[in-house]
């Protein structure tokens, strides 16, 4: 099995013998997570709505020696999610160790301007898809004897960042779902955690980050200005850290990736008791 570059794959960590499903794995955060998991030895299945894009990524991964397969699937479609999980069950013989809920979308506009269709699109893609996939994956995760779910959430789920109220609501709900599943499914030896990144240069927000004033106001002291596909040490590390057997005590947690001290964060955190300096490490946990 080929080893990935950097990250846990160069530190002696291993996920050999595990199976993983990463939704939306052909670009951005999902692509980077697939690379990290495969580099650590996990056998990965991923999905994308775009067949040509999926085929291109699969060729790249196979050339690297990664054990990655893929399916065409629209994560916002219930029937296609069911078909996806049937295929995953068939490929992995009814057992799944890792589920990474990564699919997401956004529409930015004032709350009063959202249409019912736009509300449904964001809720279905971001929250319903993750919720339903957890339901479908439960028997497979349980059968593995050591299941782990990681939600790709957002700092927008705990702070007001101007991302749009519906998007923020889906991410806040995702964080709470993380805690509930962690408690409810502990008896089945299934852990649940989430990763809440700041702005990552993916296709979803790249047009915003190209605006210099927006970029500077949102990332004035960012230590890692990460780009999707080049974020080993960023999103993949917290994600994979939650998956390792030595992290079995981590349940119902979310990791903010500690990438920023933005003006938004300063304004909100300054209202908290005991905060005296923004040069100190601030934990949102």
DSSP 8-class letter at 156: G
Tokens of 32: 């980077």
**Is residue 250 within 8 Å of residue 195, measured between CB atoms?**
no
**Token pair belonging to 68:** 């990655």
Structure tokens at 183: 């408690």
- What distance in Å separates the CA atoms of residue 257 and residue 195, rounded to the nearest whole number? 7
| Rounded alpha-carbon distances, angstroms, from residue 52 to 59, 70, 142 | 11, 12, 33
Residues tagged active-site: 167
At residue 189, what are phi and psi to the nearest 5 degrees? 60, 40
Question: Angle 276-278-282 (CA atoms, 0-180°, nearest 5)?
Answer: 95
Buried residues in 38-65 as b, exposed as e (16+ CB within 10 A):
bbbbbbbbbbbbeeeebeebbeebeeee
Through-space distance between the first and last CA atoms of the chain, rounded to whole angstroms: 36
**Token pair belonging to 257:** 């990736």
**Nearest-angstrom CA–CA distance, 266 and 152:** 23
Strand order in the sheet with 190-195: 68-72, 43-48, 19-22, 98-101, 147-152, 190-195, 254-255
The torsion angles phi and psi of 149, rounded to 5 degrees, stand at -115, 135
């Amino acid at each position: 099995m080929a080893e990935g570059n950097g990250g846990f794959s160069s530190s002696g960590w291993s996920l050999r013998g595990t199976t993983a499903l990463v939704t939306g794995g052909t670009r951005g955060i999902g692509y980077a997570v697939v690379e990290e998991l495969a580099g650590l030895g996990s056998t990965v299945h991923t999905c994308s709505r775009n067949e040509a894009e999926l085929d291109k990524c699969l060729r790249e991964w196979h050339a690297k020696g990664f054990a990655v397969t893929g399916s065409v699937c629209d994560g916002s479609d219930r029937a296609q999610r069911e078909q996806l999980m049937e295929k995953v069950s068939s490929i992995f013989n009814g057992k799944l160790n890792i589920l990474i809920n990564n699919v997401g979308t956004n529409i930015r506009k004032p709350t009063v301007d959202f249409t019912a269709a736009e509300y449904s699109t964001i809720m279905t893609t971001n929250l319903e898809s993750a919720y339903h996939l957890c339901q479908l994956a439960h028997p497979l995760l349980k059968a593995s004897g050591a299941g782990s779910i990681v939600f790709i959430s957002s700092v927008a789920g705990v702070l007001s960042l101007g991302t749009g109220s519906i998007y923020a609501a889906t991410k806040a709900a995702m964080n709470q779902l993380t805690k509930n599943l962690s408690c409810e499914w502990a008896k089945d030896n299934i852990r649940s955690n989430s990763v809440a990144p700041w702005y990552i240069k993916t296709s979803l927000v790249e047009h915003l980050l190209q605006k210099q004033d927006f970029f500077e106001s949102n990332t004035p002291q960012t230590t890692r200005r990460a780009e999707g596909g080049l974020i080993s040490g960023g999103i993949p590390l917290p994600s994979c850290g939650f998956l390792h057997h030595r992290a079995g005590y981590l349940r119902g947690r979310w990791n903010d990736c500690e990438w920023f001290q933005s003006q938004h964060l300063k304004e909100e955190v300054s209202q908290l008791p005991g905060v005296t300096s923004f040069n100190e490490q601030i934990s949102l946990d």
